[in-house]
Structure 1
Amino acid sequence: MEVKRLNVLIADDHSIVRDGLRFLLSIRDDLQVVAEAANSDDILAALAAQRIDLLLLDLGMPGVNRLQFIRDLRTDFPRLKILVLTANVELSTIRGVLDAGVQAYVTKADESQELLDAIDAIQQNKRYLAVAVRFAVDGHGSSNPGDHLIANAVLTKREQQILSLVAQGSSARDIADTLHISPLTVRKHRENLMRKLDLHNTAELAVYAVRLGLPVG
């Protein structure tokens, strides 16, 4: 069965991110990047000028008031598919934008394949959440998603400090300077955290930090 070719609008206020996304999507014959935007005005202008099937949207862009902006887009462009690509892993944000009508939510810490999988799902009229944030809608049998992990893993004060700083995007060197320890010690703590919590990347660590209520930004 022939797959419909999607016209894509990349919306991110960082040109290097837009360049990377355009290059990644160029490998797909079923996708065509037809416009780019660095702020909300650019998005609206592009949508008004031509047919856009898929919007890759960074929530942190100038003029993007997260939920209301997305709701307005859903009202004004009901056929538009929206894929959120963001560094934000806060539970309230994830659930809020999903309720506002986006089709996919992927974090910037995810692998490139996660983004492509999300687009595949959208083409099949399915909703997609990155693995690291699926706790937002999937409780895995718990009334409070992730409680089983929190209950079964006791973190030391130092581990909580490092988890919080990792979730904020701090490098091993930055964390070492902040806590007055060596970068090697930081990396060892990070490895231990992933093993103890059965997590696999920075995005999942950030999600876990949010669940614990640790400061992440």
Structure 2
Amino acid sequence: MIDIRVLLADDHVLVRSGIHSLLRSMTGIQVVAEAADGEEALRLAETHQPDLAILDIAMKGMNGVEAVRRIKVKCPNIKLLMLSMYSSEEYVMQALNAGAHGYLLKDSAAYELERAIRQVMQGIRYLDSFLSPDALDLYMRRVAEKGASAEVLTPRQRQILQLIAEGHNTKEIAYHLNLSGKTVETHRAQLMERLDIHDVPGLVLYAVRSGLITIEK
């Protein structure tokens, strides 16, 4: 059997090690690279060109959703499976809208992880068995009625929004992204105007609801 070459991305070393062990026990699946954040995942995806990338949704710096968006653009042939502890419709839809081919909860059984991999590799969208398609449809209708989502932001604006919501100030964001403070402030003003949110608490709440960050992060 031809191996399915997998890139695994999770910022928790023990979790990543556990998933790696599970994958190693499955026939025809080979982990070719591991990443600790979205930026590393994107870099390794371009280098190794795996068949499948399995990404945690909540990673600092560049989260799994943003990594999915960028991998989808740079490496369109890679299948993308989101792995998360969050079952809310907001997180699921953010992942699917970004380009994920499947969404699996971290507390799923090992056999469901393997089933998700096989199904995604066949080109079939996979949703964890605990997720309700009806609830997702309802959420999509609700979002359509409300209008704006994180999709209206540019990739750079989403990145800056995530860093703001994680508690970083302008100087720290500028250093992290190798930008000038003035450029960061310009992006910040533009994303506030686009979202019609004009204070940091509002941006944090929006980032949580949009799946850019989690409460724990």
Q: Could you tell me the TM-score, scaled by structure 2's length?
A: 0.59
Distance 1:29 1:98 in 2: 27
Instruction: Kindly indicate whether residue 9 of structure 2 is the aligned counterpart of residue 16 of structure 1.
Output: no
Match of 2:134 in 1: 138
Give the CA deviation at 1:110: 1.4
- Per-residue Cα deviation, 1:157-197 (whole angstroms, up to 9, x for no partner): xxxxxxxxxxxxxxxxxxxxxxxxxxxxxxxxxxxxxxxxx
1:109 corresponds to which of 107, 110, 122? 107
Match of 2:80 in 1: 82
Match of 1:189 in 2: none
Q: 1:116 to 1:52 in 2, by over 3 A?
A: same
Distance 2:37 2:92 in 1: 21
Question: Which amino acid in the other structure matches residue 15 of structure 1?
Answer: V
Q: 1:144 to 1:59 in 2, by over 3 A?
A: closer
Distance 1:115 1:25 in 2: 9
Distance 2:110 2:27 in 1: 17
User: Aligned runs of 1:21-170 on 2, under 5 Å?
Assistant: 21-133=19-131, 135=132, 137-138=133-134, 144=138
Alpha carbons 2:37, 2:63 under 8 Å: kept: no
Identity %: 32
Question: Which amino acid in the other structure matches residue 34 of structure 2?
Answer: E
Distance 2:8 2:66 in 1: 19
Q: 1:112 to 1:29 in 2, by over 3 A?
A: closer
Distance 1:76 1:82 in 2: 13
Distance 1:21 1:97 in 2: 20
Give the CA deviation at 1:54: 0.7
Distance 1:103 1:128 in 2: 7
Q: 1:119 to 1:66 in 2, by over 3 A?
A: closer
Distance 1:87 1:56 in 2: 14
3-state SS of paired residue (1:132): coil
Distance 1:17 1:76 in 2: 27
3-state SS of paired residue (2:130): helix
Distance 1:7 1:119 in 2: 11
How many equivalent residue pairs? 142
Q: 1:53 to 1:121 in 2, by over 3 A?
A: same
Question: Which amino acid in the other structure matches residue 98 of structure 2?
Answer: A
Gaps of 5+ in 1: 146-215
Give the CA deviation at 1:144: 4.4
- Per-residue Cα deviation, 1:103-153 (whole angstroms, up to 9, x for no partner): 1100112112111110110122111000111x1x3369xx748xxxxxxxx
Give the CA deviation at 1:99: 1.8
Q: 1:110 to 1:144 in 2, by over 3 A?
A: same
